[in-house]
Structure 1
Amino acid sequence: MLVELSIRNFAIIENLTVPFEKGLTVLTGETGAGKSIIIDAISLLIGGRGSAEFVRHGANRSEIQGLFHIDNLSHEIYYKAEQLGIEISEDQMIVLQRDITSQGKSICRVNGKLVTLGILRELGENLVDIHGQHEHQHLMQAERHLSLLDQFAGDKITSSLLEYKQLFKSFTQLSARVKQFSENEQKLAQRLDLLQYQLNEIEKAKLKPEEDIHLSEERFKLANSEKLYKTIHDSYHALYGDGKGLDWILFAMNNVEDAANLDKELKGLKETISNCYYLLEEATFSLRDYYEGIEFHPERLNMVEARLNEITQLKRKYGADVTNILEYSAKIEEEIDTLLNREEKIQELETQRDSVCEDLFVEASNLTELRQAVANELVEKIHQQLKDLFMEKTKFQVEISERSSSVRDPLINGKHVHFHEAGIDKVEFLLSTNPGEPIKPLAKIASGGEISRIMLALKSIFSIHRGITSLIFDEVDTGVSGRVAQAIAEKIYNISKNSQVLCITHLPQVAAMASSHLYISKEQLENKTVTKVTTLSKENQVEEIARMLSGAETTPLTRESAKELLSQANKIKDVYVKLTN
């Protein structure tokens, strides 16, 4: 759930911190007070589109922070965070933060870690779902209905859908390779000529593994042979010769040996110095052999330089080092062989593709059967939801049909089949709101009140299956009144038992069902307009609902009506509590 929201320099909000509770929280207030601005801030927090226009006039940036508590350790957000390398603390808290500069740039953080806007959106959509006045437009888009049906199906379809997607990936890759090898003859011939030229050039160089590394080391040694000779020569003569290092160590060794004959405790020290002397003597002779073996080969240096230059030219074309060049050589050799035997390769790929296509069709057909069974269950649940919203005569239907195909699609059992990443099905939700009227797509529904109720019925079901922790309804009750308004209020309250719900409303029936009531107001302070949020007490809640009932000044009668409405709401809540227990 969303525990706290902090907003600074956003639109007309200068500095605002809003705590939220579990259950149903309603936000009410006069038009223009800033209710929707708070929802806009949450939308940006979970990855919505932002711009410099959101930054408060005179400020450098807007800052929005949201603290979420996720007590369900199996929630999808934990898996997503682990995938993205984001650590969630033991207290199960997640902090989303988004800053928008006056230049329109976004800076996003999750638990203090800088992330991209895409990652913020990926995490945010698992935490909050916002339904505005125009949210129904998304529900009415037929292309979204398939994914909604699959969301409702949940585990019943997950394994089959995963198996289908894996086969679809293989089918797509094989189809792409068949197309690649079936391109026009001229293009393939040009490709073959290019590859053969490249292979000949690499083979002509007769490269050896890591040759560039060994040659670079040899070049360095050859280029510094004079300095190497001098340093080793000087080191040898510093140790060997009359009055040099070894003579003095020999002198010390003999003296310590004489002393050891007088004191047995020096025996160990004598052996140490003696060992050091003989080791150093051996190293001295090795130094002599080394510098005497140094030869100056300017011709060899020139040869190494020329070879390295040749390898550098090949690196520019075929790889960062000799190993990469040899790997590229093996790769193009294989491709050349494939192109020379193109017809056989095409036949092999087509056989593989057709085999996968048959399995794909079996899995697609299985998905269709599963979806048809789940669709019947969804229809039953939607009808119950609509009945609760006084739309018992409305008929809801899930139409599952096969996607349109063309002659370019695979031919299976005598007909062309178009495979999509989610199957061969096209799903559309249809509705008839009045008896005798033909069933038609959701987009054909005209009444605003009907749209609100249908949207609420659909979201009542789909929100549970999505596992969203916080649902936000932004004036979704527009265009309704009377008993329908009461039904919507009860439906929103019922949703809040499974998820935290924040609701901007102008309906007193919805406000009366709230677990927490926030009043949004606008004030003038020092020539500045600021938005203020107040958590209403029971007495103040009565006043606010009375104002919502009257639409103007409150009177003793509207206050009594407000008290009665709250009393009825409490009785309804008690009934829900008893039913759940």
Structure 2
Amino acid sequence: MLQELAIKNFAIIHELRLEFENGMTVLTGETGAGKSIIIDAVGLLAGGRGSSEFIRHGETKCSLEGLFTIPKDSNVYSVLAEYDIEAEEQTLLLQRDIHTNGKNVCRVNGRLVTTAILRHIGENMIDIHGQNEHQELMRPEQHLSMLDQFSKKQIEPLSQKYLLAYQAYQEAKQAYDKWESSEQALAQRLDMLTFQVADIFSAELSIGEEESLMEEKNRLVNYQKIMNALSASYEALQGEEGAGLDLIGVAMTEIETIDEMDRKYKELSETITNSYFALQEVASDLHREMDQLAWDENRLNEIETRLELLTQMKRKYGSTIDEVLQYFEEISEELSQLENHEGHAEALAEKLATAEAEVMKTGQKLSQIRHKVATQLEKEILVQLKELYMEKVLFEIRFNNTPEVEKNIQAYHEAGVDQIEFYISANPGEPLKPLAKTASGGELSRIILAMKTIFSKNQGITSIIFDEVDTGVSGRVAQAIATKIHSVAIHSQVLCITHLPQVAAMADHHLFIAKVPVGNRTETTVVALDKPEKIEEIARMLSGTQITKLTLEHAKELLTLAEKEKK
């Protein structure tokens, strides 16, 4: 249940902290006082869509906090475990900040989470029913999800299995359709790939070849310059006149005569000796290079021709030879697939047939469960509607799928093969007609309340919020709705915004919402009413602005009757 709610800089609320009790709590007050704002705040804590428009004028952010207690057997624990969030002492703190730049910061027990995670947790704790549910009830495409919600534990596992099968079918169908619809393009692609594979293959490319050829070309183009440099270097080291090595040899011999006299001389001797032998080896390398160096004009032409071919390959197939070779591997694999077109098409067709069979098999099982659940829901709704003075009503859930429809894969969609619609006959002798076309506002309110009364027993939701779902009713129906809302509060905490005095009288707790001027601004205040104040507020709801002795007596009578009804 929602234990505490803290709101700061939200809409016209500057700062507000509320404590809630178990059972049924009503929120009343003049239109525009801020009742729905409080419900909006709870909705955002449950992961509802946030907007900077919620921020109080002149502020940079709004902050919301909700402290919840969770029963030991709640489904919330499995959701928290999924995200590795701990709930100490069966409590959960939800926090959400919305900034003017649109940034949302959400926390669960101090841990940062995304709004999607907050929504996943919130939808297992809080159920908000507002006037927009009238609109959902008027949309037949929403009826299937309502049926699934009624028996979620029974339907959801198979529904998830079906969804996976349907997604696999869609992928298989797209792959097969793409293959089938591009036969001509595939033939053209086959011709092009055949040419490209042959073209690259005949070039006999190898990694590093281009760099090696460039080095060889550089040597041939600069033959004379290289030969001159090698000859001069060799002559300087080991020529006939003034050879460098001979002179270093003299130095080596002379220094050896004194190398025992001082450690420094020894080091000099070693350095000169090492240098002498190193240069002697260099001279040998220079001589070898001169012997191997040769001018070959034909070889230069061959290299230039080969480099031109490599340039063409890069121009056509990649910016480097490595890329050309990688492209060659890719198109070779694709060519192999295209050349085995028939076998690949058969494999795709087989995969599609298997996926289609799985969709139909799972979808029909799901439909069978839904038919059983629909029969159960029909019976329970009729019982609830009779208690809401709709004892003559007929209610039916109609499925459009027949055995012929179930054999047609085109009839299957993400939620299965079923398409359902609620039918109703509110008056004896009248045929059943689509609910969306025949039900009045008051009838819709009672049907919604009947559903929520049934669902609250099965869903394990800790807090249920009714936002003016009693619209369009009065008199004894209003009293029946009040009793029904209170019965829901037996299984879950109920917060209820209402304008009906009968509903307010049935509440276990009563909060009065008002707007008050503070300086040049307007703020929302909330007051928990004691019994005398509750009598006065119900009297106001009965008569409007002017409260008379008679309306006060009527209010007392409503409260007395409500106490008897609750007992």
TM-score (norm 1): 0.72
Which moved further from structure 2: 354-363 or 515-524?
354-363
Structure 1 residues 190, 462: CA separation in 2 closer, same or farther (over 3 Å shift)? farther
Could you tell me how far 1:494 is from its partner in structure 2?
0.9
In the alignment, which residue of structure 2 is the partner of 1:488?
481
SS in 2 for 1:383: helix
Could you tell me how far 1:367 is from its partner in structure 2?
2.4
8 Å CA contact retained: 2:364, 2:406:
no
8 Å CA contact retained: 1:28, 1:35:
yes
Amino acid at match of 1:188: L
Asked if 1:521 is matched to 2:514, the reply is: yes
Could you tell me how far 1:147 is from its partner in structure 2?
1.9
Residues 109-508 of structure 1 aligned to structure 2 (within 5 Å): 109-111=106-108, 112-189=110-187, 191-192=189-190, 333-402=332-401, 417-508=410-501
Whole-angstrom distance in 2 between the partners of 1:475 and 1:514: 14
Amino acid at match of 1:399: R
Asked if 1:35 is matched to 2:35, the reply is: yes
In the alignment, which residue of structure 2 is the partner of 1:286?
none
Asked if 1:94 is matched to 2:92, the reply is: yes
SS in 2 for 1:62: strand
Which moved further from structure 2: 418-427 or 360-369?
360-369
- The Cα offsets for residues 427-452 of structure 1, whole Å up to 9 and x where unpaired, read as 11111111222222221135221121
Could you tell me how far 1:531 is from its partner in structure 2?
0.8
Amino acid at match of 1:30: E
Structure 1 residues 120, 153: CA separation in 2 closer, same or farther (over 3 Å shift)? closer
Whole-angstrom distance in 1 between the partners of 2:318 and 2:4: 57
SS in 2 for 1:421: coil
SS in 1 for 2:470: coil
Asked if 1:571 is matched to 2:561, the reply is: no
8 Å CA contact retained: 1:445, 1:451:
no
Could you tell me how far 1:135 is from its partner in structure 2?
1.7
Could you tell me how far 1:17 is from its partner in structure 2?
0.9
Whole-angstrom distance in 1 between the partners of 2:196 and 2:566: 78
Whole-angstrom distance in 1 between the partners of 2:416 and 2:547: 58
SS in 2 for 1:157: helix
Could you tell me how far 1:468 is from its partner in structure 2?
2.5
SS in 2 for 1:91: helix
In the alignment, which residue of structure 2 is the partner of 1:578?
none
Could you tell me how far 1:333 is from its partner in structure 2?
5.0
Q: Gaps (5+ residues) in structure 2?
A: 209-259, 265-280, 290-306
Amino acid at match of 1:352: K
Structure 1 residues 160, 416: CA separation in 2 closer, same or farther (over 3 Å shift)? closer
Amino acid at match of 1:136: H
In the alignment, which residue of structure 2 is the partner of 1:78?
77
Whole-angstrom distance in 2 between the partners of 1:463 and 1:331: 58
Asked if 1:65 is matched to 2:65, the reply is: yes
Whole-angstrom distance in 2 between the partners of 1:118 and 1:130: 17
SS in 1 for 2:527: strand
Q: Gaps (5+ residues) in structure 1?
A: 212-240, 245-291, 298-305, 406-410, 575-581
Structure 1 residues 494, 317: CA separation in 2 closer, same or farther (over 3 Å shift)? farther
Could you tell me how far 1:556 is from its partner in structure 2?
3.5
Q: CA RMSD in A?
A: 4.0
Q: May I ask how many residue pairs the two structures share in their alignment?
A: 478
In the alignment, which residue of structure 2 is the partner of 1:20?
20
Structure 1 residues 370, 454: CA separation in 2 closer, same or farther (over 3 Å shift)? same
Which moved further from structure 2: 559-568 or 13-22?
559-568
8 Å CA contact retained: 2:131, 2:469:
yes
Could you tell me how far 1:373 is from its partner in structure 2?
1.8
Whole-angstrom distance in 1 between the partners of 2:111 and 2:361: 45
Asked if 1:551 is matched to 2:550, the reply is: no
Which moved further from structure 2: 173-182 or 7-16?
173-182
- Give aligned-pair identity as a percent: 48
Could you tell me how far 1:13 is from its partner in structure 2?
0.8
Could you tell me how far 1:459 is from its partner in structure 2?
2.1
Amino acid at match of 2:36: S
Whole-angstrom distance in 2 between the partners of 1:109 and 1:334: 49
- The Cα offsets for residues 34-79 of structure 1, whole Å up to 9 and x where unpaired, read as 111211222233333343332222222222222222233551x333
